[in-house]
Structure 1
Amino acid sequence: MAPHFSTLSVLLPVYNGATTLPAALDSLLDQTRPDFEVVAVDDGSTDDTATILERYAQRDPRIKPIFSAHNGIVGALNLGLTHCNAPYIARMDCDDISHPQRLERQADCLESQTDIDLISCRVEFPRCRANSGYARYVDWTNHVCTPDQIRNLRFIESPFAHPSVMFRAELVHRFGGYAAGVFPEDYELWLRWLDNGVNMAKTPETLLTWNDPPDRLSRTDPRCSTEAFYRIKAHYLAKWLQTHNPHHPDIVVWGAGRKTRQRASLLTEQGLRIRAFIDVAPNKIGRPIHGIPVWGPHDLPAPGSCFVVPLVASRGARTTIMRFLGTQGYTLGINIIPAA
């Protein structure tokens, strides 16, 4: 018999997920911590999703289906939030697998660490040549675990696989749920909550298998395009710099290539002013771009005189840049914030 009171609500939106939904639900019913409800929102599916949810609900009263007309992922998530009755809310997708101790481990973290408001975990990812880009992202996010890392590296990429998180329900009431717009709804939510001082962390364990179907929204939806990512991060980065950059609105952008300048233009749209570009290419150094000087790395002034925003997306180049800035006395989160 399931406990009468649930301390956990698992928010699971699903649209035409009949082929993967049973395995996802089975992974939840196999959890070592039993005091949860699964708020499964069927977003107007046209396959056998509704039948599967009804069958599982008859089998276990912790499965609580919500049926709605098709309204998209943001509508489904926010509808589900209104039906979540527990103090902790975990996310889950219908094509992913929660490992048996996932809910127990994450809930224990929230219960024992009262300063943490959102807890994620490391994820495993099925690798093949076709998804090598996602695999690199997973490798990166699996190394972004501490609250300081999450705060200081949030503008590089989304620090979490969306279905890996668990958070205190009060965050929704204090800072709002998912927003609709031309941006990835999960990344915008993390950036907004971090902007409001929400403390986030990640367990060291791998507790979720994050699958990669070819029709994943992050592959197909224009809200998850590269431009959409950079626009929403530019908005929140500009807000962060206004508070943390003593030279606001002036910044120094590391990178003077075409793509970097395109990303930098999104920051100028937010009211930031580029004092200089930094580049390592000899043919760029010393040649102003639209009146903005281009410095070599050793032209960078001493720490305390400017704020550097690296916008070079290559992971190897980013590591080299951050290492060089460290040798010059620059400090992550104090006078450097990487944003690509």
Structure 2
Amino acid sequence: MDSTPPEVSVALPAFNAGPTLPAALDSLLAQTHTHFEIVVADDGSMDATPEVLAAYAARDPRVRPLYLPHRGVAHAFNAAVAAARGAFVARMDADDRCLPRRLELQAAHLREHPGTGVVACRVEFGGSREACAGYAAHVDWTNALLTHEAMSLARFVDAPLANPSVMFRRELVAAHGGARQGDFPEDYEMWLRWFEAGVRMDKLPQALLVWNDPPERASRTDPRYDLQAFYRVKAEYLARWLALHNPHHPEVVVLGAGRVTRRRAALLEDHGVRIAAWADIDPRKIGNTVAGVPVVHRHELPGPQACFALSYVASRGAREDIGAFLEARGFRPGVHYITAA
């Protein structure tokens, strides 16, 4: 093996990935960037994953296996990063595929933009848009967020970048921590933490990864990716963001008064945020009170100098409608209101 450290290390956790790992590895070994390694952290697989990995490592020294006891994806990712020798670390999943120029273009972006810590890319959806319409819509949403500013403002809606599409500077893990094990989605929590720490994140406009959506994907099967887990971790980071950016802290006015919105927004109260009013357009809700908090028509909202608005409606069409309404009233995103879900 070349003793010179590679520029890029691919951190690839794998668990029971025997059927998909060959395609993932083939896509990496076909990259136009030549100076890289693939650190595959086998998380105690019980299928053919170890055999597949050993066969690839025997053929190509760029494939570096780590055989670990089963402790979960956060531990496997951290182990891969700890073993990485490259200045840049590319995240990859064992059921996805890279397009040929992914490592080349992302490494070049980090080289040319020293102030950027993380660079993602657009992704191709690798599932059935009919059978997996929600996931496909999420892909379309993330693909529309191309700047640091857009991703930062959208991060309390959902993860604004596809986790396996990311490349970052290895030093960021020492500075801000890697994946944390807990009852929450480890990837989303890490990106929220790094955003909070001020890490700049860019996204390339090219689609450089095929993001597959198999039925056994962890986000579909792992309880840490349960919707309530997302809401809990979002509420913690959103509350801290509000404490720093809301001039009327701890009070907010929440746009949306439906049961789901109220349940999600109420998680903020555990972190000291106080909901001063719910604002809605449904005449059946307006004039009522919920736990002592009045429901008003959104046209009754005071101006941006008198309140901070939190748009907490999950549906995309309604989210855009609320944003347009607030901005027509002089509310600026990130200054007078923020969108969550």
Which residue number corresponds to residue 31 of structure 2? 31
Residue pairs, 1:10-21, within 5 angstroms = 10-21=10-21
Query: Percent of aligned pairs with the same residue?
Result: 51
Pairwise CA RMSD = 1.1
Which residue number corresponds to residue 81 of structure 1? 81
Deviations 1:227-255 (A, max 9, x none): 11111000000000110001000000011
Kindly state the Cα deviation for residue 4 of structure 1 after the two structures are TM-superposed.
3.1
Residue pairs, 1:270-309, within 5 angstroms = 270-309=271-310
Kindly state the Cα deviation for residue 2 of structure 1 after the two structures are TM-superposed.
6.1
2:117 pairs with 1:117: yes
2 CA distance for matches of 1:205 and 1:60? 28
1 CA distance for matches of 2:283 and 2:188? 36
1 CA distance for matches of 2:310 and 2:60? 51
2 CA distance for matches of 1:47 and 1:238? 42
Provide the secondary structure at the position in 1 that maps to 2:285.
coil
Higher deviation after alignment, 281-290 or 315-324: 281-290
TM-score normalised by length of structure 1: 0.98
Provide the secondary structure at the position in 2 that maps to 1:10.
strand
1 CA distance for matches of 2:51 and 2:2? 22
Unaligned residue ranges in structure 2 (runs of 5+): none
Provide the secondary structure at the position in 1 that maps to 2:289.
coil
Which residue number corresponds to residue 57 of structure 1? 57
TM-score normalised by length of structure 2: 0.98
Residue pairs, 1:71-150, within 5 angstroms = 71-125=71-125, 126-150=127-151
Given residue 113 of structure 2, which amino acid in structure 1 is its aligned partner? Q
Kindly state the Cα deviation for residue 129 of structure 1 after the two structures are TM-superposed.
2.2
2 CA distance for matches of 1:128 and 1:146? 26
- Tell me, yes or no, if the aligned pair for 2:252 and 2:274 is still in contact at 8 Å: yes
Residue pairs, 1:191-340, within 5 angstroms = 191-340=192-341
Higher deviation after alignment, 284-293 or 85-94: 284-293
Kindly state the Cα deviation for residue 182 of structure 1 after the two structures are TM-superposed.
0.9
Kindly state the Cα deviation for residue 128 of structure 1 after the two structures are TM-superposed.
3.4
1 CA distance for matches of 2:284 and 2:129? 38
Given residue 24 of structure 1, which amino acid in structure 2 is its aligned partner? A
Given residue 100 of structure 2, which amino acid in structure 1 is its aligned partner? P
Deviations 1:137-168 (A, max 9, x none): 00101011101001111000001111100000
Given residue 155 of structure 1, which amino acid in structure 2 is its aligned partner? F
- Tell me, yes or no, if the aligned pair for 1:118 and 1:201 is still in contact at 8 Å: yes
Deviations 1:257-316 (A, max 9, x none): 111110111011111000110000012112222211111111010111111111110100
Given residue 18 of structure 1, which amino acid in structure 2 is its aligned partner? G
- Tell me, yes or no, if the aligned pair for 1:14 and 1:42 is still in contact at 8 Å: yes
1 CA distance for matches of 2:3 and 2:202? 28
Kindly state the Cα deviation for residue 338 of structure 1 after the two structures are TM-superposed.
0.4
Provide the secondary structure at the position in 2 that maps to 1:130.
coil
Given residue 101 of structure 1, which amino acid in structure 2 is its aligned partner? R
Given residue 119 of structure 1, which amino acid in structure 2 is its aligned partner? V
Unaligned residue ranges in structure 1 (runs of 5+): none
Provide the secondary structure at the position in 1 that maps to 2:172.
helix
1 CA distance for matches of 2:141 and 2:73? 25
Structure 2 CA distance for partners of 1:212 and 1:3, relative to 1, 3 Å: farther
Which residue number corresponds to residue 168 of structure 2? 167
